[in-house]
Structure 1
Amino acid sequence: MSQPITLVSHLLCPYVQRAAIVLLEKGVPFTRKNIDLANKPDWFLAISPLGKVPVLQVGEAAIFESAVICEYLDETQAPPLHPADPLARARHRGWMELGSAILNDIAGVYSAPDEASLQLKAQQLAQKWAQVEAALSGGPYFAGVEFTLVDAVFAPVFRYYDAFEAIAPLRANLSLAPWPQIEAWRRALAQRPSVQQAVVADYPQRLLAFLQQRKSFLGALLQPAAASCTL
């Protein structure tokens, strides 16, 4: 791109990570501009009608919503991360939507006020993961040896499980162990340079601190385990 690229972001947002991963996969130079979502500046609200990150600034133009940003980058920058076949591309977009639905269920897990509510969300997650497991074959990535936009969507999802699986009372119900293909996919994505570089070095500590600060059942479980860290 000849125009300067800025990714307006927040240090913990998984949707920001999607956009960062795609930019890194395509080798597009960009700068990051982190904002405080609890105190959104006026300039940000002027370019983000929904008041959410990420926003991709391309010169003077602003693009909002992570899915739109990823699609724009894939249409304008090589190498393509969507399949060439229209039917396969449409199916991949569907799995990307499922990735967003899983993120919503994860938010329900860390916001659940009691154990019963958390277990309900865990069951909903298990149903979705069973569908994902059935769709995988061969690996190491979602569609085989080629990294795609589906991988960019799911890589940030797996980071939550590092925190969940550190909590003994949750290991049985919030674990990916029942799905070996998903576990292998998770490990492969964790080794991808773009995935590693999409977050700051102390991201795991920041995520633990964020979860600990939730006034929820999960937050209470995390109180003794979370590292001291400020967002």
Structure 2
Amino acid sequence: MASLEQPILISFKLCPFVQRAVITLLHKKIDYTIEYIDLQKKPDWFLDISPLGKVPLLRVKDRVLFESAVINEYLDETHGAPMLSQDPLDKAEQRAWIEFSSSLFNALHQLTQARREETYLKIEEDLTKKLAPLERKVGDKGYFEGESFSLVDSAFAPFLMRSQIVADNTGIDPVSDYKKISKWRDNMLSLPEVQKSVVEDFEELYMEGIYERGGYLADL
């Protein structure tokens, strides 16, 4: 049973933004509980406390935090060694890349939903273009920068995991042409906090969703 001091994460099993928070909780070794909801049948109590009607939510005592980047910064500032730079300019740049990671989630999601080949190829080209500046920025030591895990790593890890699952199941891998991102992905997916950040049948659930949508990618 969770104590009153233990945060409660409200989640949906396939949400990459929830996964960001779980990775940070695990990396920081923070005791927490997780509660899953069905986004197709959102409970009234959830709608009452979620201003945007989205996950993740983090319940801390009698207060509720929303937006994954905000949740992660709260966890970072209240537990253990900081995972963002203490230099204001460096921290701002890290926050900018965290925001950028959301555009990769959106592009990959659109890729899995595209029904026509023409649409699929356009989205694939857009995703590939987005990866080019990331390749230039990523370090060559297995992390986003430096030799330690940061909030930028936890922000990108869900995209890196999903891109690997798509590659393993369809042979389509937008990351394959980028050596530093590929190395980064291999390292991220080897970390316990990333491996344990999803439910055991996550890959099956994720691919089921792609096949059920019946898009172009599902037929490859």
Report TM bin, short chain: over 0.9
> Is 2:32 the partner of 1:30?
yes
Alignment of 1:178-217 (within 5 A): 178-217=177-216
How far residue 2 of structure 1 moved from its aligned partner, in angstroms, is 7.0
Q: Which residue does 2:152 correspond to in 1?
A: 150
Q: Which runs of 4+ in 1 moved over 4 A?
A: none
Alpha-carbon separation, structure 2, partners of 1:159 and 1:29: 24
Task: Say whether the 8 Å CA contact 2:128–2:174 is kept in structure 1.
Answer: no
Question: Which among 67, 70, 77 is matched to residue 68 of structure 1?
Answer: 70
Alpha-carbon separation, structure 2, partners of 1:51 and 1:182: 33
Q: Which residue does 1:9 correspond to in 2?
A: 11
The share of aligned pairs that are identical, in percent, is 38
Alpha-carbon separation, structure 1, partners of 2:166 and 2:26: 27
Alignment of 1:118-133 (within 5 A): 118-133=120-135
SS in 1 for 2:55: coil
Q: State the Cα RMSD in Å.
A: 1.5
Alpha-carbon separation, structure 2, partners of 1:200 and 1:19: 14
Alpha-carbon separation, structure 1, partners of 2:21 and 2:69: 8
Number of matched residues?
Answer: 218
Unmatched segments (≥5 aa) in structure 1: 222-231
Task: Say whether the 8 Å CA contact 1:110–1:219 is kept in structure 2.
Answer: yes
How far residue 218 of structure 1 moved from its aligned partner, in angstroms, is 2.2
Alignment of 1:16-165 (within 5 A): 16-165=18-167
How far residue 167 of structure 1 moved from its aligned partner, in angstroms, is 4.9
TM-score of the superposed pair, with normalisation by structure 1: 0.90
Alpha-carbon separation, structure 2, partners of 1:153 and 1:24: 14
Alpha-carbon separation, structure 1, partners of 2:94 and 2:11: 25
Q: Does 1 or 2 have the higher relative contact order (CA < 8 Å, sep 6+)?
A: 2
Task: Say whether the 8 Å CA contact 1:164–1:175 is kept in structure 2.
Answer: no
Match for 1:63: what amino acid?
L
Alpha-carbon separation, structure 2, partners of 1:188 and 1:93: 21
How far residue 16 of structure 1 moved from its aligned partner, in angstroms, is 0.4
Alpha-carbon separation, structure 1, partners of 2:106 and 2:214: 18
SS in 2 for 1:175: coil
Match for 2:212: what amino acid?
Q
Alpha-carbon separation, structure 1, partners of 2:110 and 2:37: 24
SS in 2 for 1:176: coil
Task: Say whether the 8 Å CA contact 1:133–1:182 is kept in structure 2.
Answer: yes
Instruction: Give per-residue Cα distances to partners, 1:105-152, cap 9 Å, x unaligned.
Output: 112111212111111111111111111110123321001211001100
TM-score of the superposed pair, with normalisation by structure 2: 0.94
SS in 2 for 1:72: helix
Alpha-carbon separation, structure 2, partners of 1:62 and 1:117: 39
Task: Say whether the 8 Å CA contact 2:127–2:174 is kept in structure 1.
Answer: no
Alpha-carbon separation, structure 2, partners of 1:130 and 1:203: 28
Alpha-carbon separation, structure 1, partners of 2:186 and 2:193: 14
Normalized per residue, the structure richer in helix is 2
